[in-house]
């Protein structure tokens, strides 16, 4: 009986993804385009946070969006309606974007005239963490209705990001959400992580998030050596 080769196959897939992610990063750096990968579970309000962010920053930076979804162009259409060019990636059932998909989409992006590339990953708290895309910043959008236990249940996702946005804080009075417990879980996995509680619906807390993201993009644009 032949033995299965599951582990080596998975390792090869991840290694190939990492290599292509490096190629994606090099292409972004060549054009001095700052890449941001937004991840979240379904229903966290990811697209709403992104659209509100785009609307606030599109006059300051030249933005382009890439949206990853299993099907439809609904979210990419929302990017376009917000006033920025948008490229849709339909994964055909895959629960995450990977470096290959982004690599194939990049020729459709005018990187020469894009200061920041906004990528919306597929709604999932497991698979996206294993597939780097080659971006400069990974952001996880959590939400109050999901519960405060998510950092404990999905540690890999929380370890692999540079910022956490806690959305739907306007619902805090209606949910038993332990903010201290949530923050403790995040800090244990990712000490010093940038953290932004906000409401995409009301706009409360958005100024701090926008100021921080603006700082990240501007710092990148001012750095001579972007290929580290």
Per-residue pLDDT of 182-224, as tens digits, reads 999 999 999 999 999 999 999 999 999 999 999 999 999 998 5
| Residues 162, 137: Cα–Cα separation, whole Å | 6
pTM for the whole structure: 0.91
Residue 94 has pLDDT above 90, yes or no: no
Burial of 7 (0-12, 13-18, 19+ CB in 10 A): exposed
pLDDT score at 228: 38
User: Residue 6's pLDDT band (boundaries 50, 70, 90)?
Assistant: low
pLDDT bucket at 226, cuts 50 / 70 / 90: very low
Is there a contact between 5 and 104 (Cβ–Cβ < 8 Å)?
Answer: no
Residue 176: pLDDT band with limits 50, 70, 90:
very high
Instruction: Identify the residue whose tokens are 């332990």.
Output: 178
- Is 227 a residue whose pLDDT tops 90? no
User: What is the C-alpha separation between 79 and 67, in angstroms, rounded?
Assistant: 8
Provide the pLDDT for residue 149. Answer: 98
Q: What pLDDT, in 10s, does the model give residues 103-147?
A: 999 999 999 999 999 999 999 999 999 999 999 999 999 999 999
Residue 84 in contact with residue 64, Cβ under 8 Å? yes
Q: Residue 164: is its pLDDT beyond 70? A: yes
Banded model confidence at residue 151, pLDDT cuts 50, 70, 90 = very high
Is residue 25 within 8 Å of residue 214, measured between CB atoms?
no
Q: Which contiguous run of DSSP H or E holds residue 116?
A: strand 116-120
Among the listed residues 13, 38, 23, the one whose alpha carbon sits nearest the alpha carbon of residue 103: 23
Averaged pLDDT, 147-159: 97
pLDDT of residue 14: 81
Considering the segment(s) 6-222 as one domain, its CATH architecture is 3-Layer(aba) Sandwich (3.40)
Residue range 76-105: average pLDDT? 94
């Amino acid at each position: 009986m032949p033995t299965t080769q599951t582990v080596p196959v998975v390792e090869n897939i991840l290694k190939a993804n990492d290599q292509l992610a490096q190629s994606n990063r090099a292409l972004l750096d060549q054009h001095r385009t700052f890449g941001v990968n937004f991840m979240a579970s379904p229903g966290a309000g990811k697209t709403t946070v992104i659209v509100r962010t785009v609307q606030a920053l599109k006059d300051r930076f030249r933005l382009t969006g890439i949206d990853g979804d299993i099907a439809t162009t609904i979210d990419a259409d929302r990017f376009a309606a917000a006033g920025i060019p948008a490229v849709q990636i339909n994964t055909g059932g895959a629960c995450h974007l990977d470096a290959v998909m982004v690599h194939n989409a990049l020729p459709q992006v005018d990187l020469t005239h894009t200061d920041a590339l906004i990528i919306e990953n597929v709604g999932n708290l497991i698979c996206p963490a294993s597939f780097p895309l080659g971006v400069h910043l990974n952001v996880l959008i959590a939400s109050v209705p999901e519960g405060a236990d998510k950092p404990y249940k999905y540690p890999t996702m929380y370890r692999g990001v540079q910022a956490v946005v806690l959305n739907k804080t306007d619902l805090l009075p209606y949910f038993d959400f332990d903010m201290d417990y949530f923050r403790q879980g995040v800090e244990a996995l990712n000490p010093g992580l940038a953290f932004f509680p906000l409401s995409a619906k009301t706009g409360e807390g958005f100024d701090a998030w926008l100021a921080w993201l603006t700082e990240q993009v501007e710092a990148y644009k001012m750095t001579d050596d972007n290929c580290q």
